[in-house]
A and B are shown apart, each in its own frame.
Chain A
Amino acid sequence: DGGITQSPKYLFRKEGQNVTLSCEQNLNHDAMYWYRQDPGQGLRLIYYSQIVNDFQKGDIAEGYSVSREKKESFPLTVTSAQKNPTAFYLCASESAAGINSPLHFGNGTRLTVT
């Protein structure tokens, strides 16, 4: 089955450590996205990538970094500069940005930083 895989499902880190969240898709989609969700809130866009080797900041990019070296992979690094990193992180993809195709989401990674 095609889909988006996020790993791990739960992640625990100490404050001051960088951590990388994995997102892999086998849908052959060009565009990929990272969102953050806090309890009782909607989704906020962190970064997005419309094509390999290109990515753009979203609304809350500070303290995060990404790479898009392969079409199927879009890892997110939460750096020590992110002031409130504890959250639920969602990765999504769509076939191509700008054609109103629905977003496909992974099942998320819940990051807890103490």
Chain B
Amino acid sequence: DAKTTQPTSMDCAEGRAANLPCNHSTISGNEYVYWYRQIHSQGPQYIIHGLKNNETNEMASLIITEDRKSSTLILPHATLRDTAVYYCIVSQFGAGSYQLTFGKGTKLSVIP
């Protein structure tokens, strides 16, 4: 799997958009970008994934640059419950999840 680089921590004011960046400069053409988050002492939760087009679901939006070397997860209106560690992962199409590498992620703190 290609490696990813994320900031260690970020703050966001409640109600504002949280933009979490991820660099994956060695991503190959058939690798997807996945985002998960982990609230303290719970299991990680899937958020969204994409290949090259921007994606949106009820939780977040995923913006992938045209060269696919970086992406941004956007939480449009952050709430206190969005405080968590966010993991950006790349995974080859058709590969099992046993190949995923969960790094240290970004600790997002939503401030009242």
Which chain A residues have a beta carbon within 8 Å of chain B's beta carbons? 4, 6, 31, 33, 35, 40-45, 48, 50, 56, 58, 88, 90-92, 94, 97-100, 102-108, 110
Contact = CB atoms under 8 A, between A and B. Distances in A.
Interface size bracket, B side: 20 to 34
Contacts of B41: 88, 107-108, 110
| B interface majority secondary structure | loop
Interface string B42-53: 111110010000
Contact of B46 (A4, A31, A99, A104): A104
Contacts of A43: 44, 102
Contacts of A88: 41
| A interface majority secondary structure | strand
B98 A42 contact: no
A48 B44 contact: no
Given A40-B104, A97-B96, A97-B98, 10 more contacts: A6-B43, A35-B102, A42-B102, A42-B103, A43-B102, A48-B96, A102-B34, A105-B43, A105-B44, A108-B42
